[in-house]
Structure 1
Amino acid sequence: MSVKLTGLLKPQPTSRLLLEASAPSTAPAQPGEGQADHQEPGTALLPERRLQARVDVAIPVQIESKGGPHQARTTDLNVTGASLRLLAGQPALGADERSGRLVLRLLLKQAVPPIPASASGDVSDLTVPGEIVWGGLDGTEARTPRVGIRFLHDSANVQCTLAELVGKLLTFCGQADDRPDMVQLLSQQVEWLTGDGRRIAACQDGSLESHPGAPLVIIAPGYGETKTDYVTLASYLAANGFHVLRYDHTNHVGESDGEMAEATLSSMNQDLGAVLDYANRKRPTSPIVVIAANVTGRVALKRLAQDHRVALLVVLTGIMDLQAALRAHQEDSIVTFLRSAGLGMMNLLGLNVDGDRFLSDAIKEGYADLLTTIEDAKRLQTPVLFFAAEGDPWTQPDAVKKVLASLQTHEAQLYLIPDALHRLRDNPRQTLALVRLVASCCMERFFPDRSRKGLVEPSPRTIAAQIRVEQERARARHSKRKPALREFWRAHLDHTRHLLNVSAYWHLLEQVARLAGPLERGERVLDPGCGNGELGLFLLTQQAYRLRGEPGPKFLPPQYVGLDFVPSALTSVRMNLAQAAAEIRDKSPATVMAHPLLTTTLLVADLDSPLPIHDNHFDRIVCNLVLGYLQDPLFTLREFVRVLSPGGKMVITSLKPQADLSHIYRLTTQQPGQPEAIEAARRMLLRFGTIKQAERDGMFHSLTRQEFALLLFASGAVQISIHSAFDDQAYLAVAEKLPR
């Protein structure tokens, strides 16, 4: 058998976005020097810096204010607020009403378009408190007053009702770009039950130009991915005449039934079989293409070795040697499992699963190593295209080449991708080149005449709109009530009490402290989302070392204020700081302890609500690995700017979307004689696996560099710079407040 090998051209690198910015702006950031003046599909943002989708819906609203009742209608709505247009003849809201609290009654039964009924068949009106954040007149001749409302609900029931309401109304089918040369794309949610009663959630994508008998492409998302990760690929395929069916695995992240903890490769195999059955029922005359990524590529290889209904298999960065991938990610979990059962919950390839269930299934069902993959490949009759990342330790191109050599089919082709690419979302620019190549390959095979005319490019804005809709729908589906969210973070903090034992985390705090600037004159430092108080402990230690070098009353101690919405965390902070101070006192000379090291205040407060702090109060704000987990990051950043003193500085960190903390775990295990550090790193990896799963389910959102910068601009901060930190797993932003 001959195998054709093709290289994939690497896109030219561009300068990093928004490394420095010197002026506040509410306009989208301009490209930096050497940066392309366009955005890749799927990464372009519609003008919505709150990172929350708005739905266009007209809901009658009765407003109760100090000045009396008003009548209005919503023009758009999201989970945190709404835009209202006062009805004709209604007076504008006065100054007292603008600064006061309003009560809004949303008459949901009269909404246009109608709101889908719940399972009980009832649509109830909703009462929610709010405040005005902006006001003005619309651009019509009538000059009707309009206001922007921020909801101030403190009820978990109201919060969940709003999330469910927005989720029901989030549908997008068509164009966000009205250019006549752009092909019209159509997306539709579908779901069905498998033979054992599990619900599979999917999305059908197509265009008005797609022929009924055109090929149907099934996109099986990789391990740790959802159907939303493949909107860009689906859009390119749909724009070029294919029907596309994207789905979420059961027992996995996404919208299908089941919990990630119960994930197995056999379950993924059964899901793919159920999707193939569905595809044959819905489009019996269409040839079927299966596109599968990373671990799912291995699953598809086994499925199609026995199931011959597929005309083409495309494997994207497929993991052909599971044991080697696990070893590269963290450790040889298969050997560990064989030596001792009872592994329990563990982090595998970035997400937490029942280790015993997952690994026993992989071994028993023949997924565990390269030899079992080669045995499946020998039985494969389907033509196959492999796209392998050259520098990726998970996928290992040499293993892919061995699998290709064992294939009996004469139609096999390998494309090599420069650099590592575990998952499509890891590198948007690299992903776009891959998406275009995959679409072109499918075109050449099924539409050879059309392919010679070139690839049809879908609208980037349409792709971005569809991604946003699906992300917000997932967020609404998985939204947690505030008590459940508080319990989630309490458990997280309980398992990460010893983060300071991890050297990479200590180095992160050193970088934060260095960029925040010296603390020598009694500066007031706010630590919002302080967790277990690691920053306070670091500042305490730092002050002790400083006074050892220069004893005397030269330095005034910083005034540290820790703030968190988990009361038990603040209790731990108080105990940790007291214990650390006692240890420093026992080990330090009297000249050091003659002066206070740190004054401490701890407050219970929710960062999704207005901070209980006066304006212009703090000299420094340090918010560490919190921002991406907030309901409305822009609101919180504006609160930070409000309480920051003129000329004050804030340092904010956020994990990158593609963060992989197994790298930090491996570095820690390589340090001899530090069992406490290794255990702390293991717990960190496990808990961040839980957070990553919640992020994949839409609960949280890790900020890209561009999103981070846009939010800081919109907050009113100036002198913004963004750096890499935490062994390249996080972004670190430094910004200031305009001096008087």
Structure 2
Amino acid sequence: MAAGHEPLSAEPAGQEWPGAFRGPFDSVTEPFTVRNRHGATVRGTLSRPARRADGGGADDGADGGADGGADGGTDSGADGRSGSRAGTGPPPVAVVVAGLGRPRLWTALPGLHLLANGFTVVRFDLTNSVGVSDGDILDFTLTRACEDLCDVARWARDRCGTQRVTAVTASITGRAALRAAALEPDLFALVGTLCGVVDVRATLTALLSGRDLVGQLHRGDASGLDGVGTLFGHDIRLRGVEGLVRDDWAGTAGTVRDLRTASRTRFVDFHAGGDPWIRRTDVRAVYDSVPHARTFFLPDAGHELNPAQTRRALAVLLRAHRALTGPPPGGRPRPPLRTPTSAQVSAQRRAEKALDRWWLARQRPGPGSAPVTAPAPATAPVAAGTPDPAGTAPAH
């Protein structure tokens, strides 16, 4: 484990715990485990940017980090307020999570993009989804996804000693992030959503070929909800629709309420012109309803962004973060943003695949939990010309 890194949450005694490994941009990645509020285990990785040789914070050289250097300047925190002086202040923290039916490995590109530009990056698998965290995707609920995001973000903030964090999400986890920011006003400074869902009812109806389960429940008809439905290639219990209604997830009205409540958070959304599951009119109506949110249109994209589209979106998000944190101390100009190569993304994924194999080989269902679920092949359309998923953005 790298010097100066305290141990992360431990796996059971008697199992050889893998240590940290070096990654692109001289970063250090460590595995972590966290117990969520329900006692289930969330697994993921924490990647730290390179440290300055003079002992300062994240390097502000070509990677565009936030450190003020050795001149006694200040490090800018993710909340737009200055943190501690150079040499003691932590880099900004980003929490990255893929959408429904996609594991953490799908977030390698956005994670490295943030890491290259000075962020400490926490990436994890949701519980009751796919990947290496506890639970089965059969039991996925949006409320549970929101809780996981809050629990991990709070842990990351406390562990890294920052004030507020940035969240980068996709599709249905984008909707979870809007609620998370409303519930935790002091936790999230900036939320980026790639093809974020704004009307869960409309998206669910489109995925189920026009079957409006929310409307059915509103009519008092619960028939068929004891079965399962296939969403993005995975079977999920339809009984979870009751939670969508009970917890105010369905429709755009609840989304607008969450945005208005989260008035201290800045939101940046990216909507794809070729997205069959999310209506552009809904996106504009929701994000135009508050002054602290913006949406950007990607006319050539589908519901899953290819690497080039992901890089464009992350560059916009990083510029939004720079605007939020303010200029570097001493009037120094910002360096250009840095972008990871496909080879660097592939190298990071290979290292994390080895870690995931270690986790999967030792995973045992605990009381009240199910084994991890392996991801199924994608069924949603991907933009034409999309390369290998080694560089693909979070999906669903």
Q: Which residue identity does 1:465 align to in structure 2? A: A
1:234 corresponds to 2:234 = no
| Number of the residue aligned with 2:237 | 354
Write the letter of the residue equivalent to 1:414. T
Check whether the contact 1:171–1:469 (CA below 8 A) recurs between aligned residues.
no
- Which whole-Å CA distance do the structure 1 matches of 2:113 and 2:253 have between them? 35
Which whole-Å CA distance do the structure 2 matches of 1:658 and 1:278 have between them?
31
For residue 173 of structure 1, give the secondary structure of its aligned residue in structure 2.
Answer: strand
Which segments of 5 or more consecutive residues in structure 2 lack a partner in the other structure?
1-10, 52-57, 59-66, 68-88, 363-374, 390-396
User: What SS class does the counterpart of residue 367 from structure 1 fall into?
Assistant: coil
How many angstroms apart in 1 are the aligned matches of 2:126 and 2:388? 30
Is residue 2:38 matched to residue 1:196? Answer: yes
Aligned residue number for residue 411 of structure 1: 292
User: Displacement, 1:298?
Assistant: 0.9
* Counterpart in the other structure of 2:380: 660
Structure 2 CA distance for aligned equivalents of residues 705 and 273 of structure 1: 32
Give the 3-state SS of the residue equivalent to 2:28 in structure 1.
strand
Matched, 1:383 2:261: no
Equivalent of 2:304 in 423, 448, 464 = 423
SS in 2 for 1:267: helix
1:245 partner SS: strand
Computed over aligned residues only, the root mean square deviation of the Cα atoms, in angstroms, reads: 3.0
Residue aligning to 1:185: 27
Is the CA contact 2:181–2:262 (under 8 Å) kept in the aligned structure 1? Answer: yes
Aligned residues: 318
Which amino acid counterpart does residue 348 of structure 1 have in structure 2? L
* Structure 1 pair 370–364 and aligned structure 2 pair: CA distance change class (3 A): same
Flag the 1:405–1:268 CA change in 2: closer, same or farther, 3 A.
same
Whole-angstrom distance in 1 between the partners of 2:333 and 2:103: 29
Matches within 5 A, 1:315-714: 315-331=193-209, 332-335=211-214, 338=217, 339=221, 340-356=223-239, 358-381=240-263, 382-407=265-290, 410-424=291-305, 427-446=306-325, 448-449=327-328, 452-475=334-357, 477-478=359-360, 658-660=378-380
Give deviations 1:236-292, integer Å, cap 9, x for gaps. 111111111111111111111111111111111111221132123213334311222
Measure, in 2, the Cα distance between the counterparts of 1:189 and 1:170.
Answer: 7
Aligned twin of 1:75: none
Q: Could you tell me whether the CA contact under 8 Å between 1:321 and 1:373 is conserved in 2?
A: yes
- When normalised by structure 1's length, the TM-score is 0.40
CA contact (8 A) 1:205 1:243 kept: yes
> Which one has the bigger strand percentage?
1
CA distance in 2, matches of 1:456, 1:218: 19
Structure 1 residues without counterparts, runs of 5 or longer: 1-117, 124-167, 176-182, 481-628, 630-654, 662-703, 708-740
Distance in 2 separating the partners of 1:229 and 1:353: 21
Report the Cα offset of residue 171 of structure 1. Answer: 6.5
**Distance (Å, rounded) in 2 between the aligned partners of 1:254 and 1:288:** 23
Q: Which residue of 2 aligns with 1:586?
A: none
What is the alpha-carbon distance in structure 1 between the residues aligned to residue 110 and residue 146 of structure 2? 22
TM-score when normalising by structure 2: 0.71
SS in structure 1 at match of 2:23:
coil
3-state DSSP of counterpart to 1:419: coil
Q: Which amino acid aligns with 1:354?
A: R
CA distance in 1, matches of 2:98, 2:174: 9
Cα pair distance change 1:295/1:705, threshold 3 Å: closer
Is the Cα–Cα contact under 8 Å of residues 337 and 359 in structure 1 kept in the other structure? no
**CA pair 366-197 structure 1, distance change in 2 beyond 3 A:** same
In structure 1, distance between residues paired with 2:140 and 2:49: 34
Query: Match for residue 591 of structure 1?
Result: none
1:286–1:208 CA distance, 2 compared to 1 (3 A): farther
1:272 alignment partner in structure 2: 149
Once the two structures are superposed, what CA deviation does each residue of 1:449-508 show, in whole Å capped at 9, x if it has no partner? 47742112335433211112223433454469xxxxxxxxxxxxxxxxxxxxxxxxxxxx
Conserved 8 A contact 1:226-1:248: yes
Give, in angstroms, the shift of residue 400 of structure 1: 1.2
CA deviation map 1:305-331 (0-9, x unaligned): 231122112122111011211222232
Q: Aligned partner of 2:203: which letter?
A: A
Query: C-alpha separation between the residues in 1 aligned to 2:32 and 2:351?
Result: 15
